[in-house]
Amino acid sequence: MKMAKIRCNACSTDIEVTQANKSKSCGCDNHTLLRLDRNSVPIVSGNDLSLIIGIDGVGKQKEKRVDKPPMPEYNKRIPRKLDFEIR
């Protein structure tokens, strides 16, 4: 289970979210909001982000490297011209 925790220095409130697609806010004038998206990536927003400190689970995500097989050569289909009889 992924968890994220931040602190709003405007009102000294700790905000913690443990479930995906759930959000919590501190309710002060800074409108600090913490939310986990469906991939458990924390999303932090507020009026002044310099007043928000990440405590746990908030940081840069590690980039996943997936070995993809090379794409085969793609043969473009050539559209045919249709011949119509003109009467």
Domain residues of the chain, as ranges?
Answer: 4-56
> Which CA distances in Å does 53 have to 40, 41, 62, 79?
19, 16, 20, 59
Q: Tens place of pLDDT for every residue, the chain, 87 residues?
A: 578 888 988 888 899 888 888 889 988 888 899 988 888 788 888 998 888 888 876 665 556 666 666 666 666 677 777 777 777
pLDDT of residue 81: 76
At 61 the pLDDT is: 55
- pLDDT of res. 72: 67
**CA 81 to CA 87: how far, in whole Å?**
19
pLDDT at 71: 67
* pLDDT reported for residue 55: 83
